Amino acid sequence: MTVDPAVLKELGNLRSRLPELSGSVLATADGMVVAHDAHGIEPDSLAALAAAHLALARRFAHAVNHGELRESVVECDGGYITSYTAGSNALLTLVTTGGANLALVHLEARRAVRRLMKLLVLEPATPRPEIPMQAGPPTPLARRTPMATLQNTIRGR
């Protein structure tokens, strides 16, 4: 996959503006890496975990009727992992050290997401096909018990 050099430049600029940034990954919502600037961090694993985290965070937002998810923060002993939605099909995940100014991280990341969204041309999410409805009344499943498998002559005793 060829990555637009402007996307890589944006991730590099983000690193220069945030010295506490350990790595950044731009990924699709299903966990595929689009581009990364992650030295010492496995970008494929981070993209997959961030996509799973994004899906769960979206469910949280909808469960409490707070609208669409924009970003999520995970605070750890050693720093922060922040994820920002970039449209409906992508996300930007940043890993920073504990000394990071979280307000500045948010500010720079939000600006970067706006610029990246202009550069990204991702395929729209394809809706999954619906499971066809069964015609007619639903029939119960046959009961399979140990007694049902015995011969009639043995059961009658």
> How far apart, in whole angstroms, are the C-alpha atoms of residue 101 and residue 4?
29
Strands (E), the chain: 21-28, 33-38, 71-76, 79-85, 90-97
Q: Residue 87: pLDDT band by 50, 70, 90 thresholds?
A: confident
> Which position has the higher pLDDT, 88 or 45?
45
Given a cut of 80, whether residue 128 has pLDDT beyond it is no
Tokens 């060829």 correspond to 2
- Structure letter (DSSP) for residue 125: P
Instruction: Note the pLDDT of residue 80.
Output: 96
C-alpha angle 72-116-77 in degrees, rounded to nearest 5: 30
Instruction: Note the pLDDT of residue 92.
Output: 96
Q: How far apart are the first and last CA of the chain?
A: 71
* CATH code matching the domain that covers 5-120, chosen among 3.30.1330.10, 3.30.450.30, 3.40.50.300, 3.40.640.10: 3.30.450.30
Instruction: Note the pLDDT of residue 138.
Output: 63
What is the domain partition of the chain in residue ranges? 5-120
Instruction: Record the pTM.
Output: 0.74
Instruction: Note the pLDDT of residue 42.
Output: 94
> How far apart, in whole angstroms, are the C-alpha atoms of residue 29 and residue 51?
5
